[in-house]
Every structure is written in C-alpha cells, then in structure tokens.
C-alpha cells in the first residue's frame, strides 16, 4: 500500500502508540501536541520503545534507527499541512476536538482524511465540525496500541464509502484487524462489554459474593483472562466509570447501562485501581483469592454475567451495530474474550439464555433484564 504521510495529533498514551505503529509500518509520521513537555516525553518514550524492541531482537538496530527517523515532532498544527490522513488522539472532550478539526481543516489539503480515536463521542457530531464532513471517520484503537490487534472503524453518517475502505485497508496493512461499527455510543466493544462490569457489581451489591469470588467465577468457569473487578482496577475505575456514565447518558439513559453507587464511591474516594494502589483490591497486599469456593455459587454467578453479555451482543446484532462476524471478532480481539458471545449462545443453547433472562426479568421487573428480540428470533 502507498506509504502516505500520517499526522497524529495528541502525543499521549494513544497518540504515541498510533504513531509508533504507523512509523513501524513505514509511514512518515508527524506527531503534534499542544503541550511541549508532553511532546518531549513522547519523543523520549518512542525512542526508548524502539530501542527496547531492538534489544529484544524484535526489530533490527537499523530498523529502529530508520523508524525513529520517520518521525517529525512539532507543537504546531501547521506541520500536518502535507499529511494525507490525520488521526486525532487528544483529550476526550467534544468541544476541544471540534475546535481542533475546524483548525485542521483550514491547514490540510481538501483530500486529507480526518479521523478521530474517540472512544465515546459521536463521530457524526465530530464530522459536523468540518466543512467537508464526508472526509471524516472514526478509527478506534485499543490500548496498548502496539499490542492490541483490533481497530473499530466507525463511519459518520456523512462519511463517503471510499474513505471507509481506505481506513480499513490502511490499518490492515499495519497488521491490525478491523471491524466496522455503527456510530452509536460505545461502538461495539465498549457497548457489549458493559454487563461484564455492571452485572458483576450488581451481584456484589446484592450481597451474593465478594469481588474475589466473582472474579474467580469468571476466570475459572469460563476462562476469561481477568475477572471483572481485577479488570476494572486495571483499566482505572475513573476511566471505567466515565465510559459507563457516557454510554448511559448517550443512550438516552437506557436503564441497562445505569452506573452504580459502588463505582461512583470508589472514584470519589480516589480508589482508582492499580494506578492508585487501591481499588476493589488493595495492591499493597498479596493477590486476593476467595476464602472458600462454593462451586454452585460460582457457576450461578458466571452464568448470570455470561447471559447478560450474550443478551447485549444479540441486541447489538438486532440493531445492526455491526455484522455478526464483526461482533464476534471485536470481543475476542478488543477485550480478549475466550470465545465469540453469539457462538457461545449457540453452544450453550439460546433457549437456556432466554429462560434465565426471563426468570431475572420476572424476578426484578427491571428493564436491564429484558431479553433481546434477536435471541427470541434465533430460537
């Protein structure tokens, strides 16, 4: 594929990762950030990262030098003038991003594609900040970018189809796996994964089990790599709470996505997870495991969370958020689920899933337990 020059705006965690992957794929990359110190830090970190890869023998010394030579660092957005694609990765703030795109559009050529790495904002709304919204697209990378294979491609309703194909082909040429998602809150992964956290918290709040038992249930019964509470601590409870809140609000306060007081209180207390030393777990102590294991209880917990995930995946399919294949790929490659949720539903029996959901709905009379029409149709 033609090695176009790529601009990356925002040299934080994501911008740095995207810039590294693009440069390693042979592109010249202009990396800009409004913060001088941040940009200098990114420059040092990218150099260190490439050196480390060379030391480990993953790339040659010559490749490390050549890759670093393809970066151009600048605080000035005008440095992006010649870029053919610009990927924005600045802070998650609609007005900051919109004003950035208004400025960028005045700087770049008329055929430069503008992309955002937003994880929760409306791509269509960002596109509307451009005079030429057809050029706009969402490209959602996962953290850490060099290691996570998935990229969700999210066309705005204004995006022209040739740009969808271009974005897809480009990141696939970098070794990434792409899925196409409709521009709806949370796209595919951050929407379908919600019950992994929310149902786990709900089970805890109802007093059925502690964090360690619920985590143990998901890892031991179904082989998830991390239990929900360990994972929330890893992501950061502030980040996870913000995503939950944003998906809930953006879905017009859909009850299924309602945040919890447990999550809110952790954030208020500054118990943000691993990064602050304490979250659901206390990281100054030994790794916590459940005191005793009740096989029946762990099975019931794991089943309830899995069924809620399956219901969410089925609903995403019903509302055409993505194709069946892309839903399955997204959950396996974006959050390392051991299996595609719809395949899982087929294997354990869709009828069983419906029965559990209907039982929960009859018990609680809450919208969060309504069974997706898609599951009813499948059976």
Q: How far is the CB of 9 from ligand NAD (least distance, A)?
A: 5
Q: Which of 117, 120, 129, 140 is catalytic?
A: 140
Q: How far is the CB of 90 from ligand NAD (least distance, A)?
A: 4
Q: Which is nearer to ligand NAD, 89 or 302 (CB)?
A: 89
Write 253-258 long-range contacts (CB < 8 A, 24+).
Answer: 254/367, 255/366, 255/367, 255/368, 256/194, 256/195, 256/198, 256/312, 256/367, 256/368, 257/194, 257/198, 258/198, 258/368
Q: How far is the CB of 236 from ligand NAD (least distance, A)?
A: 9
Whether 152 is catalytic is yes
Q: How far is the CB of 227 from ligand NAD (least distance, A)?
A: 19
Q: Which residues contact 232 (CB under 8 A, 6 or more apart)?
A: 197, 240, 263, 273, 279, 280
H or E segment and range at residue 304: helix 295-318
Q: Which is nearer to ligand NAD, 6 or 90 (CB)?
A: 90
Are residues 321 and 272 in contact, defined by beta-carbon separation less than 8 angstroms?
no
Whether 205 is catalytic is no
Report the residue closest to ligand NAD, judged by CB: 12
Q: How far apart are CA 372 and CA 341, in angstroms?
A: 14
In the chain, the N- to C-terminal Cα span, in Å, equals 44
Whether 111 is catalytic is no
Are residues 215 and 228 in contact, defined by beta-carbon separation less than 8 angstroms?
yes
Q: How far apart are CA 203 and CA 206, in angstroms?
A: 5
What are the φ and ψ backbone dihedral angles of 97, each rounded to 5 degrees?
A: -65, -45
Whether 284 is catalytic is no
Q: Which of 84, 88, 152, 328 is catalytic?
A: 152
Q: How far is the CB of 243 from ligand NAD (least distance, A)?
A: 9
Q: Which of 116, 117, 129, 190 is catalytic?
A: 190
| Alpha-carbon separation of residue 73 from 21, 44, 154, 244 (angstroms) | 16, 11, 28, 34
How is the beta sheet containing 113-116 ordered, strand by strand?
71-74, 29-32, 6-9, 85-88, 113-116, 136-141, 150-155, 177-180
Which one, of 120, 370, 368, lies nearest residue 258 by Cα?
368
Token readout for 90 is 């600045």
Q: How far is the CB of 80 from ligand NAD (least distance, A)?
A: 11
Q: Which is nearer to ligand NAD, 10 or 227 (CB)?
A: 10
Q: Which of 119, 129, 198, 372 is catalytic?
A: 119
Q: Which is nearer to ligand NAD, 143 or 295 (CB)?
A: 143
Are residues 227 and 216 in contact, defined by beta-carbon separation less than 8 angstroms?
yes
Q: How far is the CB of 38 from ligand NAD (least distance, A)?
A: 4
Q: Which is nearer to ligand NAD, 33 or 215 (CB)?
A: 33
Q: Which is nearer to ligand NAD, 113 or 354 (CB)?
A: 113
Q: How far apart are CA 316 and CA 306, in angstroms?
A: 15
* Contact positions vs ligand NAD (CB under 6 A): 9-15, 33-35, 38, 89-92, 96, 100, 117-119, 141, 143
Active-site residue numbers?
119, 140, 152, 190
């Amino acid at each position: 594929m033609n090695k176009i020059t790529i601009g990356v705006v925002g040299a934080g965690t994501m911008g740095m990762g995207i810039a590294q992957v693009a440069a390693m794929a042979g592109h010249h990359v202009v990396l800009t950030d409004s913060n001088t110190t941040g940009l200098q830090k990114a420059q040092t970190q990218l150099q260190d990262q490439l050196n480390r890869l060379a030391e480990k023998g993953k790339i040659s010394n010559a490749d490390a030098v050549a890759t670093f030579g393809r970066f151009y660092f600048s605080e000035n957005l005008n440095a992006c003038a010649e870029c053919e694609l610009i990927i924005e990765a600045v802070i998650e703030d609609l007005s900051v991003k919109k004003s950035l795109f208004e400025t960028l559009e005045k700087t770049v050529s008329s055929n430069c594609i503008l992309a955002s790495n937003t994880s929760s904002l409306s791509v269509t709304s960002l596109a509307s900040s451009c005079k030429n919204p057809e050029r706009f697209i969402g490209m959602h990378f996962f953290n850490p970018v060099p290691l996570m294979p998935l990229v969700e491609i999210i066309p705005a309703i204004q995006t022209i189809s040739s740009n969808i194909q271009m974005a897809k082909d480009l990141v696939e040429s970098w070794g990434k796996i792409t899925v196409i998602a409709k521009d709806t809150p949370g796209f595919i992964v951050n929407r379908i994964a919600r019950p992994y956290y929310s149902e786990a918290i709900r089970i805890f709040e109802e007093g059925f089990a502690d964090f360690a038992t619920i985590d143990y249930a998901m890892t031991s019964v179904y082989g998830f790599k991390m239990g929900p509470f360990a994972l929330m601590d890893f992501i950061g409870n502030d980040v996870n709470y913000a995503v939950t809140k944003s998906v809930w609000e953006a879905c017009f306060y859909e009850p299924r996505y309602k945040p919890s007081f447990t999550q809110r209180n952790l954030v208020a207390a500054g118990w943000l997870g691993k990064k602050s030393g304490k979250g659901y777990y206390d990281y100054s102590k030994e790794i916590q495991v459940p005191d005793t294991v009740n096989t029946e209880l762990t099975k019931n917990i794991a089943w309830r969370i899995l069924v809620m995930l399956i219901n969410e995946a089925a609903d995403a399919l019903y509302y055409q958020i993505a194709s069946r294949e892309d839903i399955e790929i997204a959950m396996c490659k974006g959050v390392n689920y051991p299996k595609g949720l719809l395949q899982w539903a087929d294997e354990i029996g869709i009828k069983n899933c419906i029965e559990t959901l209907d039982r929960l709905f009859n018990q609680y009379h809450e919208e969060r337990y309504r069974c997706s029409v898609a599951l009813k149709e499948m059976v």
